[in-house]
Amino acid sequence: MSFLAPLFAVGLAALAIPILVHLVHRERKETTPFPSLMFLLRTPYQHSRRQRIRDWLLFLMRAAVFALLVAAFSRPVFDRENEAAAASTGGGREVVILLDRSFSMRVGDRWARAQAAARAALDGLGPADRGTL
């Protein structure tokens, strides 16, 4: 597999954005000076375990979105040479054919043409190839 726009891989640096958002957007405790509270014992502020897990899941989802965007913009392409090499070593092709049985296929001879195209594709398979209808 190769990329048509490999410079977009530099966009992986954009993964730093969710890290920064995650670290900057932490909940801050708000202190309000109130005279009668000065005699109470201070208790340390604790994040609940469930809240921390939710925060990390949110962070992972944000990072995954950026990683998928970078992958999409770098335009991955599968090499035809590798497919030819796999076919020459005895590995056949995998062909999947989907036929639409909706009402729109009943107009004219669409269904017959779709069946003929599927038969032609299946007839073109070699002995090592596999087809699924």
pLDDT band of residue 42 (cuts 50, 70, 90) is low
Residues 7 and 58 in one domain: yes
Say whether both 69 and 110 belong to one domain.
no
- Confidence tier at 97 by pLDDT (50, 70, 90): very high
Number of domains in the chain: 2
* Domain carrying residue 39: 2-77
The answer to whether residues 73 and 9 belong to one domain is yes
Q: Is residue 62 included in any domain, yes or no?
A: yes
pLDDT at 101: 87
Distance CA 64, CA 14 (A): 11
CA distance 105 to 112: 9
**Residue 55 shares a structural domain with residue 119:** no
Contact assessment for residue 77 and residue 4, using Cβ atoms and an 8 Å cutoff: yes
Which stretches does DSSP call E strand in 2-75? 2-3
Q: Tell me the mean pLDDT in the region 49-60.
A: 72
The predicted model gives 107-114 an average pLDDT of: 92
Same domain (yes/no): 62, 104: no
**Does the pTM exceed 0.85?**
no
Cα 62 → chain centroid? 12
Higher pLDDT, 5 or 85: 5
% of residues, the chain, pLDDT over 90: 11
